[in-house]
Structure 1
Amino acid sequence: MRIAIAGGTGTLGRHTADELRGRGHEVRVLSRHSPEYRVDLTTGEGLAEALAGCDTVVDASNSPSPKQAEQILVEGSRRLLAAEEASGVGHHVCVSIVGCDRVPMGYHRSKAQQERVVESGQVPWTVVRATQFHELLAAGFAAVGRARVLPIPRARLQPVACAEVARVVADAVEGGPRRGRVEVTGPETADLRVLARRWRAITGRRALVLPLPLPGALGRALRSGVATSDHPDVRGTVRFDDWLRAQTPAGRADVR
C-alpha cells in the first residue's frame, strides 16, 4: 500500500512512518521540510504531486502555535481532503486528541473542528484519538524546568508512548475506513503534578514543583479527567515512569 503522511517529520509522524515501513508499505513523508515531498497545508502547495497514486493519507500534522492551529488543522484539512478527492485517495486517517471536544482551549477546539471537517468530507475516513504523548510531557517538563521551577496545575492525564499510538494508526490504515473513531490511551491515569515529580526524580533534574491554580472552565475540565478515557479501544502498556527510565539509563528506580 502507498501511504502519505502529512506531518511525517513530527513526533508521531516519524514513528508512524517507521511502523508502516516495517510492515512493508511504501511511505511518503509530507511536510514543509521534507526533501522529497515538500507540501504546505496553509497554501496547498505540493499536495497534488505528493498524493498522486496514494491509497491512504495519514494526517499527523500539527501547529507550531495555537494562533496558527485553525489555519493548519482546519483549513489545512480542507485543502488536504480536496487534494485527496482529486487524486482518488480511498482512506483518510486523522490523528486527534481524546476529549478535544470537551477541553475549552483554542488548540483543542481546532482539533474538534478538524474532526468535523473530516467527517463531513467525501473521502472515507477514520479518526484516531490519542491521549497525551510521553514524549511531549517530558519535553514540556524539560522546557519549563530550565528555570528550576515547575508551575503545574491539577489535571488528570493518561499519557501514552508515541510508538504505541503509531501502531494503532498503522492498524487503522490497514483496516480500511470505518467512518468512526478509535481511542488509544496510556495504561494509567495520574495527576499532572505526580507525573512532574516522577519526571524530576527519574531524570535527576532539580526543579521545584509549584502548584499552579487553574480557575474557570478549563481548570474544572482538566481536573475532572476529560482528557482521559475509561474505556479506550486500545490501552497502551508502557507507563510514563518506564518510558522515562528507558530514555534515562541512569534514572532512579525508586519513584512511586
Structure 2
Amino acid sequence: MRIAIVGGTGTLGRRVAEELRTRGHEVRILSRHSPDHPVDLTTGAGLDTALAGCDTVVDASNSRGSAKEAERTLVAGTRNLLAAEQRAAVGHHVCVSIVGCDRVPVGYYRVKTAQERAVTEGPTPWTVVRAAQFHELLGEVFTLLGRLRVLPVPSVRLQSIACAEAARAVADAAERPPRLGRMEVVGPEPADARELARTWRAVTGRRALQLPVPLPGGVGRALRAGALTTDRPDVRGTVPFAVWLAGETAGR
C-alpha cells in the first residue's frame, strides 16, 4: 500500500513510518518541512499533490502551541485533510488520539475530542487509535524537571506505553480495513505519576526532591480516578516504564 503519514517526523510518526516500511509499504512523509511532500494543514496547501495515489492516511500530527493554535491544526486542519482525501479517493483515515481525551476537561484534550468528531463525521472511512501517554514523554518531563533538582508531581493515574509498541499498533490499524470505531492502546500496567517519578529517580540515580502537587477541581478528580487509563484495551503493551527506562539509561 501507499500510505501517507501526516506528522511523520514526530516522536510517533517516524516510528510508524519505519514500521510500515519494514512491512513493505510505500510511505510518504507529510509535514511543513518535508523535502518531498511539504503540506500545511491549517491552509490545506500541498495536500492534493501529497495525497495523490495514496490508499491510507495516518494522521499523527501534533500541536505544541495554545489551545487555539491546536484547534487550527488539529480540527480545522483535519477537515482540510479529509476534504483532500475525498478528492484523492483515499480509502482509510487513521487518526491518532489519546486515551480518555473526552473524560478530562482541559484545553488540549477538548481539541483532541473535537478532532475525533471531525473524523467520525467526515467523508473518509476511518479508524481512531487512542494511545496512552508514551514512556518517552514521561522520561523527557522528569529529566527536564530533574535538572532543577525538584520534581513537582501531581497524583495522576497513567498507563504509559513505549512509543515503539504504540507505533506497531498504529501500523496494524493502517494495514487493516477501516474500523469505523476506536481502538485503545495502553501500557502493561497502570501507575500513579508519583510512583513513576520515584522509579525514574531510582533507575537514573538522579537526585531530585519530589514534591506533591495538588490538582483541584474536576480535572484533578478525573486524573486521580484514572480517566487516562482503561481496563479493557484493544492492545496492551508489554514493556513497563521501569524496563524501558533501564534500557534507555544503559544505552547512554
Give TM-score scaled by structure 1 length: 0.96
Unmatched runs of 5 consecutive residues or more in structure 1? 252-256
Q: Does 1:194 align with 2:195?
A: yes
Range that drifts further, 121-130 or 66-75: 66-75
Query: What residue identity is the alignment partner of 1:213?
Result: P
Residue in structure 2 matched with residue 78 of structure 1 by the alignment = 79
Residue in structure 1 matched with residue 138 of structure 2 by the alignment = 137
Question: Cα offset for 1:114?
Answer: 0.4
- 1:114-143: CA deviation from partner (whole Å, max 9, x where unpaired): 000000001000000011000111111112
Query: What residue identity is the alignment partner of 2:122?
Result: G
Q: Where has structure 1 moved over 2 Å in runs of 4 or more?
A: none
Distance in 2 between the 1:141 and 1:170 partners?
29
Residue in structure 1 matched with residue 168 of structure 2 by the alignment = 167
Q: CA RMSD in A?
A: 1.1
1:28-67 matches, within 5 Å, as 28-67=28-67
Residue in structure 1 matched with residue 236 of structure 2 by the alignment = 235
Query: What residue identity is the alignment partner of 1:40?
Result: D
Distance in 2 between the 1:66 and 1:107 partners?
8
1:1-256 matches, within 5 Å, as 1-67=1-67, 68-249=69-250
Distance in 1 between the 2:87 and 2:109 partners?
29
- 1:208-248: CA deviation from partner (whole Å, max 9, x where unpaired): 11000110111000000010000101100010000001101
Range that drifts further, 216-225 or 142-151: 142-151
Secondary structure at 1:127's aligned position in 2? strand
Query: What residue identity is the alignment partner of 1:24?
Result: G
Question: Cα offset for 1:250?
Answer: 7.6
Distance in 2 between the 1:222 and 1:34 partners?
36
Q: 1:250 to 1:119 in 2, by over 3 A?
A: closer
Secondary structure at 1:37's aligned position in 2? coil
Secondary structure at 2:62's aligned position in 1? coil
Secondary structure at 1:205's aligned position in 2? coil
Question: Cα offset for 1:192?
Answer: 0.2
Unmatched runs of 5 consecutive residues or more in structure 2? none
Q: 1:45 to 1:221 in 2, by over 3 A?
A: same
State, as a whole percentage, how many aligned pairs show the same letter.
68
Distance in 2 between the 1:209 and 1:65 partners?
28
Question: Cα offset for 1:66?
Answer: 3.3
Secondary structure at 2:103's aligned position in 1? coil
Distance in 2 between the 1:227 and 1:146 partners?
27
Query: What residue identity is the alignment partner of 1:110?
Result: V
